[in-house]
Amino acid sequence: MGTLLRSRHFITTQEFTREEIDLMLDTAYDLKLKFARDEPHPLLPYKTVFMIFYDESTRTRNSIEAGITQLGGHAHFLSPDKMQIHHGETPADTAKVFSRFGHAIAVRHCQFGVGNKYLRALAESSSIPVLNLQDDIYHPMQVLADIMTIQEHFGKNLHGLKVGISWAYAESHLKPLSVPQSQILLFTRYGIDVTLAYPEGFDLMPDVVKQAQKNAELMGGKLTITHNMDDAFIDADVVIPKSWGGFFTIDDPMKAGERKEEIMERVRQHTDWRCDERRMDIARKNSIYMHALPADRGREVVDSVIDGPHSVVFDEAENRLHTAKAVMVLTMGGRP
């Protein structure tokens, strides 16, 4: 197993081997134990991470900020409207400056068709790790916490485990595709039997789905696509119902922002795509309910489920801290 991850960019888990991802998870388990024991672990003393947030955040910002503090370093929270980015400074120039100042650049940029390209442009010119805190295609920090949470409940051998990932009704905003896309990419690499359910038209990015299918073929998993929400719940060990934007319900996804109301009209046709007690009853008896949060309570999920015995959403949220710390330890520090 290769252990040299120092200075690697972390934009998608797809760019890391299974062994490297396992190293991240093993490191997260170790850091979680240290946190539980209140055992100091300043593995990144005096290291600095620059956090650029184009979008709102609760778990992601605070898992990075608390995490780097617990590791002995410091995070700078940066809002693009208060940076020279706002006046047109290029990603290349931004990356080169921060490479002189500190040890990692962490970015959330979820604008469809823009976010991932911006991170890639930063990475091209950065000599320090660029960490993806969610873009329009990937959310690698979230999916690491997801796989860790699943392993905690079902063990490290997940081959054949049945996981249902489903679109769910919500109108708060056009949520990025990055969470379900990262899940189908990584879960299939662990031999998981994934059922992906969504109403017709609410597709994920075709290239991502194609790669996930290749992952499944290579690792002995499955990826089944259906347009019936119940199919994601029947005999499932894990259910992950969550809304995502209907970018492909219109003929030009790049115009989703200006055509939001048109997309929302399509969303309102599927108010019955909700996680409730009936659907949890058709999953396996010891199934777990997961959600990246924040959940649209009363729309995506009823309170009795998210607050009920199957729910592990706060375990999942806590694991955001430990996995974020693991990524920082290995990419910002790690062996030389």
The pLDDT tens digits of the residues spanning 311-320 come to 999 999 999 9
First to last CA, the chain: 16
Residue 287 has pLDDT above 80, yes or no: yes
Q: Which two tokens stand for residue 100?
A: 């002189």
% of the chain with per-residue pLDDT over 70: 100
The model's pLDDT over 235-246, given as tens digits with 9 standing for 90+, comes to: 999 999 999 999
Please report which confidence band the pLDDT of residue 335 belongs to, taking 50, 70 and 90 as the band edges: confident
Angle of helix 18-36 versus helix 140-154 axis, rounded to 10: 70
pLDDT of residue 10: 98
| Domain boundaries 142-316, corresponding CATH code | 3.40.50.1370
Q: Which two tokens stand for residue 177?
A: 């595709």
Question: Which residue is listed with tokens 């999953």?
Answer: 283
Question: Which residue is listed with tokens 């379900």?
Answer: 180
Residues of the chain with CATH 3.40.50.1370: 13-138+318-333, 142-316
Residue 2 has pLDDT above 90, yes or no: no
User: How far apart are the C-alpha atoms of 154 and 152, rounded to whole Å?
Assistant: 6
The model's pLDDT over 103-135, given as tens digits with 9 standing for 90+, comes to: 999 999 999 999 999 999 999 999 999 999 999
The model's pLDDT over 152-197, given as tens digits with 9 standing for 90+, comes to: 999 999 999 999 999 999 998 899 999 999 999 999 999 999 999 9
**Domain 13-138+318-333 CATH assignment equals 3.90.1150.10:** no
pLDDT of residue 3: 84
Residue 38 has pLDDT above 80, yes or no: yes
User: How far apart are the C-alpha atoms of 112 and 89, rounded to whole Å?
Assistant: 20
Residue 89 has pLDDT above 80, yes or no: yes
98: alpha, beta or left? (left if phi > 0; alpha if psi -120 to 50): alpha
